[in-house]
Amino acid sequence: MSNIIKATSAEHCKEQMKSGIVILDFYADWCGPCKILSPVLDQISEEYLDKVRVIKVDVDNDELKPLVTAHRVRGIPTLVFLKDGEVVSTVNGITSKQNIIDKFENL
């Protein structure tokens, strides 16, 4: 069972980003590389439930465009790592599960 949060609005997402460690996953349903990365993020959201929140942000959703613009997403997939609401790292494109884990464990 996945513990990933699907963003429904920019405001909802901003509330979720205020505290702790958060990974924003900017994706689209039609994106092949996003589909490859999705199960990896599902695993991380389950294995590190008490350590990190994963929030999926659909770049094609007009309600979420302010987030796409604010985080300067130019390609997908893009992962944005936040700690207590502050951006600390960004990864563009597909990356390994271990690289994602290393990013948030070192925050």
Annotation marks residue 34 as catalytic: yes
| Residues in contact with 36: Cβ distance below 8 Å, sequence separation at least 6, in sequence order | 94
Enter the tokens of residue 24: 């924003």
Q: Name residue 74's amino acid.
A: R
Residue 33: asked if its preceding bond is cis (omega within 30°), the reply is no
- Residue 55 pairs with which residues in a beta bridge? 5, 24
Q: Which of 5, 13, 34, 82 is catalytic?
A: 34
Look-up of token digits 């991380």: 44
Q: Which of 4, 28, 31, 101 is catalytic?
A: 31
| Residues in contact with 62: Cβ distance below 8 Å, sequence separation at least 6, in sequence order | none
Active site residues: 31, 34
